[in-house]
Structure 1
Amino acid sequence: MSVPDGDVRIPTVVRELAGSEDIEPVWSNELGGLTFRLGGERYVKWTPAETSIDLNEEARRLKWVIRYSPVPKVLENGSDRSGSWMITEALPWESAVADRWFADPARAVRAAATGLRAFHDAVPVEQCPFDWSVRTRVGDRDLPVDPPSIDRLVVCHGDACMPNTLIADDGSWAAHVDMGTMGVADRWADLAPAIWSTEYNFGRNYREAFLDAYGVELDRERLDYYLWLWEST
């Protein structure tokens, strides 16, 4: 995901949802998905119908997980022939890749790691209706390598990269966003892309710092496997 550069075509449904509020593009992705700020109190995510992403599924996840861990509150969601959309309440914190935290990556990494551990510890696996297992992710495709045994089964964020961590003013973890693939899986399914993201976003790898703040020893087999899976699905 990235900050939109240049003119952004605002979907008709977003204009209708905004009413008289100002519309500010804030994020875009390679699949054509867009996020806009509506005034100062709401965000709307929109994704085109031709993608495999259905934001109604993310809305289901957010509505379920908010009772266990801080995430945006869903205000409305729906779809039409052009795509799907979801409006959430604005949260008062900044992303871990905002300018303030980009200038202090060690602190941002620690917040992301402690936040991911807090999420894994707080959200109950037994009650979770969503799955993010290896088989769910690969579907009917043959796996070239069998997955390693489960280290610890948790409810995974599903995209635990740095931009999806929100940090409070004091440098502590505050909330998570972008929960479209949240589901039960081995915790290394989250840890691998989270660690990869430290280098992608900050220009160097903070693997040791991330694992130390999360509170787990390096498991090279699981890290390598779930990083391969992340890049393959």
Structure 2
Amino acid sequence: MNAPLPETGKTVLSAIPSGPVPVPRVVAELAGRDRVTPVWRNQLGGLTFRLEGPGGVRYAKWVAAGTPELDLPGEAERLAWAGRWAVVPRVLELGADAEGAWLVTAEAPGRSAVEPRWMADPATAAAGIGRGLRLLHDALPVAECPYDWSVERRLPRADERVAEGEGPADWSPEHRHLSLEEARARLGDPPPIDRLVVCHGDACVPNTLLHDDGTPASHVDLDSLGVADRWADLAVAAWSTEWNYGPGYDTILYAAYGVEPDAERIAYYRLLWDLT
């Protein structure tokens, strides 16, 4: 998962760690005598560990100090809010010190859609992800959501990245033919809202957990959760099936969600994702 897919050239930077992972001091202290297993490394260097012992299973997410894109207090707030209507991890502890910040949650039901069980049956997994995303969008009340993930809220981050020197070489292959000016101009003309929902904010394949029969179980990594057009989630969720499973599973996800592909909105929200 941490290499370019031959069909797309897309590099997936978040992955299950494949080699030794140093355990941060605070994670070791939180674990005590529990067994510590690294289970995920995201593209910004954040680490997630499984802590397993006689008392059960917990998950500890840790980010180094000075990583502003990873807002663990914000994620803890969003988990507590979303947990009133959807199945998400329950927050157990939140803290920070000079080395980094951490968030400890209880185990949520299901297995990540990138675990070997689902990598071997991607069609069933893609359908479960689509159904799970629809259930999440239908369950979370827009009128009561205090969080915003709209285009207007996200565009300043695109401008920041351009100012920091990021450009076409850092984008997905399908966008590298665009100049900075062309890409930014396209983002300045968003399509009309299809349906406002409370979006997951990172509805990529690994963040849906599935029951053994392929039905949706829970969602994780909701640090960007907020109100936006549902295509902000849909476009990226379907895109990520290509990164993780290969081509051809996006249509399964759309069908399971209950929507026909919308080429204009898919193109827009994928470009916005790339630049933000």
- Uncovered stretches (5+) of structure 1, i.e. residues with no partner: none
Structure 1 residue 161 corresponds to structure 2 residue 174: no
Moved over 4 A (4+): none
Which residue of the partner structure matches residue 172 of structure 2? none
Residue 92 of structure 1 deviates from its aligned partner by 3.6
Q: 1:47 touches 1:54 (CA, 8 Å); kept in 2?
A: no
Identity of aligned residues (%): 56
Question: 76, 80, 87: which one pairs with 2:97?
Answer: 80
Residue 205 of structure 1 deviates from its aligned partner by 3.0
Which residue of the partner structure matches residue 69 of structure 1? 86
Mapping 1:53-202, distance limit 5 Å: 53-139=70-156, 141=159, 143-145=184-186, 146-202=189-245
Which residue of the partner structure matches residue 5 of structure 1? 18
Q: 1:196 touches 1:205 (CA, 8 Å); kept in 2?
A: no
DSSP 3-state at the match of 1:139: helix
Backbone CA RMSD of aligned residues: 1.3
Separation in 2 of the partners of 1:6 and 1:210?
A: 32
DSSP 3-state at the match of 1:126: helix
Q: 2:59 touches 2:105 (CA, 8 Å); kept in 1?
A: yes
- Uncovered stretches (5+) of structure 2, i.e. residues with no partner: 1-13, 160-180
CA displacement, residues 57-99 of structure 1 (integer Å, 9 cap, x when unaligned): 1111001100111001111112112121100101241111111
TM-score using structure 2 length: 0.82
Residue 11 of structure 1 deviates from its aligned partner by 1.0
How many pairs does the alignment contain?
233
Separation in 2 of the partners of 1:167 and 1:117?
A: 14
Structure with more relative contact order (C-alpha pairs < 8 Å, separation 6 or more): 2
Separation in 1 of the partners of 2:136 and 2:64?
A: 30
Q: 2:109 touches 2:218 (CA, 8 Å); kept in 1?
A: no
Which residue of the partner structure matches residue 62 of structure 2? 46
